[in-house]
Amino acid sequence: MGRFISVGNNERTYTLDYSVLTDLYRLMGKEALACLIDEFLSSHWQQVNALEATLRARDVQQINLTANEFKLTCQQLGASKLSDLYGKLAECGKSAEFGQANTYLHLIQCELAQLNVAFRQIGFTQ
């Protein structure tokens, strides 16, 4: 899955898993991958806003379903850290820990901004 680096006894997940991006690049080519990434980034902010509304409504089932769906999408695109955060949000949804869920949503928003920068740095977005 994602590349990890050991930090003491903790593991740190990188924003991007370059091995996944390399595989996608080989499979799709640069233009198609760039289009996929652009679509992901442009639609993902809207999806995060919808997830925020779901959290406000405290819809436990929808939080879990949506967070797991986003987790898989991020995983397939190599957005390892974002995928991990969605996994943690899904767990909060299952246990109805809404305060913690809001914290993870904030971290997701921050990581999405970082992901945008990372994709720009490697030349896949403008």
Place of tokens 């390892």: 80
> For 76-121, what is each residue's pLDDT tens digit?
999 999 999 999 999 998 998 999 999 999 999 999 999 988 888 8
pLDDT of residue 14: 75
Tell me how far the alpha carbon of residue 110 is from its chain's centroid: 10
Give the number of other Cβ atoms within 10 Å of residue 98's Cβ. 15
User: What domains can you pick out in the chain, each with its CATH number?
Assistant: 4-121 (1.20.120)
- Which residues touch 9 (CB under 8 Å, ≥6 apart)? none
Give the number of other Cβ atoms within 10 Å of residue 16's Cβ. 23
What distance in Å separates the CA atoms of residue 122 and residue 102, rounded to the nearest whole number? 30
Instruction: Report the predicted TM-score, pTM, of the whole model to 2 decimal places.
Output: 0.83
Sign, CA dihedral 22-24-26-31, equals: negative
> For 44-61, what is each residue's pLDDT tens digit?
888 899 999 999 999 999
